[in-house]
Amino acid sequence: MKPDAVVRAERVLGVIAESWRPVTGRGYANNERWLVALEGGRSVFVKTAVDDAGADWLRDEHRIYRGVQAAFLPELLGWDDDGAFPVLVLEDVSGGAFWPPPWPGDAVEAVLAALREVAATAPPPGVRSLESDRASWVGWDVVADDPEPFLGLGLCSREWLDAAGPALLAAAETAPLDGSALVHCDVRSDNLCIRSGRAVLFDWNHARMGNAVLDVAFWLPSLELEGGPKPDAVLPSGPGVAELAALVAGFFAARAGLPPPSGAPTVRGIQLAQLRPALAWACRALGLPQP
């Protein structure tokens, strides 16, 4: 029996599906993902929501695919929104693509090149600004109000947090977020691949308008985690870099110790893993002792 998402994709495309298989092991939301082989030999990627949070994220993602056509994202092929759980149909980029890790130097440069192209792209209408969402990024204010979830991770002592926390909070609160560029806001290996030497980015549901350097800064902890260079080697010290490092560390620090959200039940583990290099980077950048 064909999954509902495949049936709806057939209807949108006007083509019969010959076979389909679920895509697992990438991403942290509850959405269903399918690779669907169509009559005539073409294959497509189909994603559908299975809960309200995923449905809202998918609508936000569709706004980007509808409004931006560029080599750094897959081609939008179809969309079906029944008012409950929408279905997104994209080109299948998996054939011949390289999926990091590992991270050879040319793959790192491919992502940086793609992010430069993203930064040069005007956001489509309706995309919120990073600056308007600053409170959700800072993070260290949440830790200051209730430090127990963060301290429960075992990454530092209470004495270290009392000494370093105010500097991390002050830096994050002044991180430069304002700007007019398109910002992906969730660059990680599970959200990209390398195709013909170019990086292709997926999962645009968190996209915002603002300072494009945030995309590089947010990617770097996961890059180091996966065996790539340290953040300092990719984004050397410069105006706003230390503040962005503190912001990124605070984002993970405020979340990694919390119960998992219903829409992304496995995300806390990867947030904790990214917090470790992010926190070390922020301390180096600000001249603070390591925890």
User: Is the distance from CB of 257 to CB of 287 less than 8 angstroms?
Assistant: no
Do 229 and 156 sit in the same domain of this protein? Answer: yes
Spatial distance between the Cα atoms of 12 and 275, rounded to a whole number of angstroms: 41
One domain, residues 260 and 229: yes
Beta partners for 88?
47, 79
Kindly state whether residue 22 falls inside one of the protein's structural domains. yes
pLDDT at 26 (0 to 100): 65
Do 68 and 112 belong together in one domain? Answer: no
**Cis peptide, bond prior to residue 101, ω within 30 of zero:** yes
- 59 lies in which domain range? 4-91
- Boundary residue ending a domain (61, 91, 121): 91
User: Does residue 31 sit in the same domain as residue 151?
Assistant: no
* CATH code (residue 48): 3.30.200.20
Measured distance CA(80)–CA(89) in Å, rounded: 9
Q: Each residue of 105-142: pLDDT tens digit?
A: 999 999 999 999 999 999 999 999 999 999 989 899 99
Report d(CA 18, CA 151) in Å as an integer.
Answer: 52
Report pLDDT digits (tens) over 232-278.
999 998 999 999 999 999 999 999 999 998 777 889 999 999 999 99
139 with 65, same domain: the answer is no
Residue 14 confidence (pLDDT): 96
Question: In residues, how long is the chain?
Answer: 291
Residue 98 lies in a domain: no
Single residue among 58, 91, 124 that ends a domain in this structure: 91
Q: According to the model, what pLDDT value does residue 210 have?
A: 98
Pair 153, 31 in one domain: no
User: Strand ranges (DSSP E) for the chain?
Assistant: 17-22, 32-38, 43-48, 76-80, 87-91, 181-183, 192-195, 198-201, 208-210
Pair (14, 47) in one structural domain: yes
Q: What is the structure's pLDDT at 266?
A: 86
CA dist 102 and 99 (Å) reads 8
pLDDT value of position 28? 62
Residue 254 in domain: yes
pLDDT at 53: 87
Per-residue pLDDT of the chain (291 residues; tens, 9 = 90+): 899 999 999 999 999 999 999 988 666 667 899 999 999 999 999 999 989 988 999 999 999 999 999 999 999 999 999 888 999 999 999 888 999 999 999 999 999 999 999 999 999 999 999 999 999 898 999 999 999 999 999 999 999 999 999 999 999 999 999 999 999 999 999 999 999 999 999 999 999 999 999 999 999 999 999 999 999 999 998 999 999 999 999 999 999 999 998 777 889 999 999 999 999 999 999 999 999
Provide the number of structural domains found in the chain: 2
DSSP states of 65-110: HHH---TTSPPEEEEE--SSS-EEEEE---TT-B--SS--HHHHHH
Under 8 Å between Cβ of 224 and 249 = no
Check which CATH number belongs to the domain holding 267 and give it: 3.90.1200.10
Question: d(Cα 79, Cα 5) in Å, to the nearest integer?
Answer: 11
The owner of tokens 């002044």 is 174
Cβ-proximal residues to 118 (8 Å cutoff; 6+ apart), any chain: 70, 72, 181, 182, 183, 184, 201, 212, 215
